[in-house]
Each structure stands twice: as C-alpha cells, then as structure tokens.
Amino acid sequence: MKINRRDFASAVLASTGAIAVRGQEPKLSGASPREVVLRGRVVCVTEELQQRYHVAADCDRRGHLYAVKTTDGELFAFLPTDAAAAIYLDERCRERELQVTSRLFPDLGMIEVIRLQSWKQGRLHNLFYFCEVCNIRTHKPGPCDCCQDPVEFREIAVAEDEEER
Ligand SMILES: [Zn+2]
Ligand SMILES: [Zn+2]
C-alpha cells in the first residue's frame, strides 16, 4: 500500500494525540505569528539539548534540527521550508553569523525563513545563489531552475548589492 507523505504525517500526529481530529487546526495558544529579525548563529537544537539536558541525540540517522541561536542565547528552530533550504544544504550558511528575517510562531518557538543575510566585518551582506548563464538569483544551492547548471554561492554587502542592481 502506498501512503502519501501528507496522509502519513497526519496519521502520525493523530496517533500521538498532537492533533485530535484530522482536518482541525493545530491548537496554539493564540499568540499570533509575527515578523522578527534575529541575529545569531546556526546550531542543532538536539545537540544543544544533549549538552544541557542529556537528550539522546541521533542526528546521524535522524538529521539535524537546525535553529538560530541569538546573541541573547535564545533558540528558534527553522521550519524546514524551501526558503530555509540553504541552511540545510550549505555549510557556508551555517558557519556565518546570520541575520534571519522570519515569521515567528511564538507558541512553537519556530521560525519560517523570509530572508537570510550575514554579518561580516560589521557589514550586513545578502546571501543568495547566482546563475551566470541565465543571470538569475535563487535562494538555495543546486541546479539552476532554468539551465540546470549549478548555481554559485554569493555574499555581497547590502550597500554594494543595491548599487549593482
Ligand atoms: Zn544535530
Ligand atoms: Zn541558469
């Protein structure tokens, strides 16, 4: 029997009681999502909790749960959306001090990425990927949507980037 991913996910959530009835909205306390700009570095939540609370991390097999750890030490986990793909796929994004414009779901402590930028030598930089052939930008690594050539990582100071465009 073939189960599609969405049905499987709903079934899992229903069986754990996280969602009582299929089709209902997840129960959040009512704090509305809001746009926030967070500055910090990428960490794996599971590993952070392993260090602090001895959570039995199994990242090698289960994958990392990435979060931005702000300069205040707060953790906000990235929802695995397409806009966050570069965090998962490109080590360079995880090594940098980031500025993450995002939508925060306060009840969950999770963020949906809107834009990724970096801080380097005290200057804010735009992070993106570029296809030389097609002269187009994208937000994640991999083959260009248009010509299928690999896109290149770019990090350009915001002021210079605006001049260029
Ligand atoms: Zn991990
Ligand atoms: Zn291209």
Same domain (yes/no): 102, 157: yes
* pLDDT mean over 58-69: 97
Q: Which ligand is nearest the CA of 148, by number?
A: 2
Same domain (yes/no): 121, 160: yes
| φ and ψ of 20, to 5 deg | -70, -50
Same domain (yes/no): 11, 76: no
* pLDDT mean over 30-47: 94
Same domain (yes/no): 65, 146: yes
Cα 33 to chain center, whole Å? Answer: 16
Same domain (yes/no): 83, 154: yes
Which residues contact residue 98 at a Cβ distance below 8 angstroms, ignoring those fewer than 6 apart? 38, 39, 40, 41, 42, 68, 116, 117, 118, 119
Same domain (yes/no): 51, 89: yes
Q: How far does residue 7's CA lie from ligand 1's centre (Å)?
A: 27
Q: How far does residue 149's CA lie from ligand 1's centre (Å)?
A: 30
Which residues contact residue 157 at a Cβ distance below 8 angstroms, ignoring those fewer than 6 apart? 120, 123, 124, 125, 126
Tell which residue, 36, 39, 55, 35, has the closest CA to residue 47: 55
pLDDT greater than 70 at residue 97: yes
Q: Domain of 23?
A: 1-28
Same domain (yes/no): 35, 21: no
What percentage of the chain exceeds 70 in pLDDT? 82
pLDDT greater than 60 at residue 4: no
Same domain (yes/no): 126, 61: yes
If one counts the domains in the chain, the total is: 2
- Which pLDDT score, from 0 to 100, does residue 7 have? 54
Cα 2 to chain center, whole Å? Answer: 29
Same domain (yes/no): 39, 22: no
Same domain (yes/no): 78, 15: no
* pLDDT mean over 129-146: 96
- Which pLDDT score, from 0 to 100, does residue 31 have? 83
Q: Which ligand is nearest the CA of 136, by number?
A: 2
